[in-house]
Amino acid sequence: MTQNAVASPASSMLGSLFNLRGSSDAADIANMTGRKALWLRIAMAVAMFSISLENNHDVGAIFNVGTRPLALFEGQETFVILLACCMCLHPKYTRMSIAVFAVTLIPYAPNFLGLANHQILGFWCILPALLVKDWVSSRSYATYLRVTFGMVMLAAFAQKLVAGTYIDGSYLQFLVTNSTKTTARWFEFVCSSGPAAPCLPIVVASNFILFWQAIVGVFLIIGWKNIGVLIIEIAFLIGAGVFADEFNFQVLNIALLAIVFRTGVPIIGAVILVIVTIADLWGLGAIGTQVALILRGAG
Amino acid sequence: MFNFIKRPRGFGAWAFVILLALHSLWVLNHLRLHAERSINPWKGGGYGMYTIPAPKQDWIVHSSASAEMRPSAANRKKRASTGFLLEHHVLANKNRWRRCAHLSHSSMAGFVQANRKILEPYIIVRAVESVFDPSTRKHPRKQIGRVKLEVRDGYIYYVSRMCGEEKSGRTPLKSLKELEG
């Protein structure tokens, strides 16, 4: 399946970040070597990293090791996952890294469905890479990831459709006017009608979200890997991440989509995604508030 | 498009087909459970995240010693540092996805161990749920369950009533080390 290059400035930026233009087609999937293979391994390492900090909500406990040395070992799986991330980058150890990553699931396996959703999705998507000899060049694994993502998108669409809260825009309105997330409230200006009823822009945005999920789900399942769709999807994920002030899920999605689309993630992209994942420990809203306070103090 | 589904070759391809089939069954089941209101739609895979305001379930502890008390934040943190079931299932309730599930025996044992001081002569734990009400724009708290725990002769005797379904029994009182092991 060939992929279309998109020439707009935005796509050009994303293109260089995620190697969109250099993406592969089905013909070379079985012969994945060199830089492209490295970028695919980086994508997998980023996907694993996005899960590593899930059980370390107490940021102070991680970094304030001077007063509490043992705090460093709370949530030990972080360090095992970091080891797996490093191993994943080397072609020789990339398969073993998945096994190391699998070890971190053991304590949580009895309550697998009670885990954070991006942990569930991460384990469900990453661990099956062990089933093939070389996941980097495996067409079966890429297809598995693609269909899994398509199913998740369609499932999310079905849930929203059944709840009816996106057709009438009521849930987005709730988020904008009632959410405790600072970033959701950044969008209050969109609607001047107040908290009572969703205004037209909210209803339109809400319906776009709903049907976009369905469209992407269908595209992924039928295997139409258009680069334009990937760019819109990444923009959509970033927008959702800002809105909900939750980025670790988006980082996981972006990294795994980079494997699905065979683009991989280059080093600069990985650095950005890692920074975003770490910043997510505090949240964009809290960081924005701190920056505003500092700027106000400086002013 | 679905080459490995049409002509699965080798163990890996067959395993992927089976995993996809299991996943699709779970997706349908999740939708059914959500419709029945027996799960928190935000949990169990995330398909229902950001669909409705997240229902928040919490546990309130009653004992003969005080009218209503909730374990302190410091206590919760202490429990979390042990990596112990209690934090997840009972107090913070972060990982609870089945709304009406009875507490597991290990959760009860952990809870009792962590709250021995307030367990005189018995303890009642109420499960409450807060769901956003658009008409009042508030999160009213509604009781959905209640568990009575009593320690006698090395056992925890319990009577649990969740979403109208009652269950009673006993479980051995275990030490923290046994629970963690």
Residue B132: name the closest of A170, A240, A204 by CA. Answer: A170
ipTM for the whole predicted complex goes beyond 0.90: no
Buried b or exposed e, range A82-115, using 16+ CB within 10 angstroms: eebbebbeeeebbbebbebbbebbeebeeeeebb
Lowest average pLDDT, out of A6-10, A113-117, A151-155, goes to A6-10
Q: B59 in helix, strand or coil?
A: strand
Report the residue from A141, A159, A174 with minimal CB separation from B48.
Answer: A159
- The answer to whether A128 contacts chain B (CB < 8 Å) is yes
Contact call for B137 and A74, based on CB within 8 A: no
- In B, minimum Cα distance to A155 occurs at B47
Q: Please, are residues A258 and A234 in contact by the beta-carbon 8 Å criterion?
A: no
Q: What number is the average pLDDT over the span A213-237?
A: 84
Q: What number is the average pLDDT over the span A271-298?
A: 81
Residue A265: name the closest of A22, A32, A27, A31 by CA. Answer: A22
Chain B from 115 to 174: CB within 8 A of any A CB: 132, 134, 137
Chain B interface, mutation test: which of A29, A64, A104, A113, most B Cβ atoms within 10 Å? A113
Across the A/B interface, how many CB contacts are shorter than 8 Å?
122
- The answer to whether A162 contacts chain B (CB < 8 Å) is yes
pLDDT 10s per residue in chain B (181 long)?
Answer: 555 566 667 778 889 999 999 999 999 999 999 888 888 888 888 898 888 888 877 777 765 544 344 444 444 444 433 322 333 333 434 556 788 888 878 777 777 776 666 556 677 788 888 877 766 767 788 888 888 888 888 888 999 999 889 999 998 876 655 554 4
Q: What percent of chain A has pLDDT over 70?
A: 75
- In the prediction, which pLDDT does A125 show? 95
Chain A from 190 to 249: CB within 8 A of any B CB: 195, 222-223, 244, 249
Chain B from 66 to 85: CB within 8 A of any A CB: 77, 80-81, 83
- The answer to whether B41 contacts chain A (CB < 8 Å) is yes
- The answer to whether A170 contacts chain B (CB < 8 Å) is yes
A86-120 pLDDT tens trace:
999 999 999 999 999 998 888 777 778 878 888 89
Chain A from 171 to 190: CB within 8 A of any B CB: 171, 174-175, 178
CA distances from A229 to A43, A224, B6 (A): 19, 9, 26
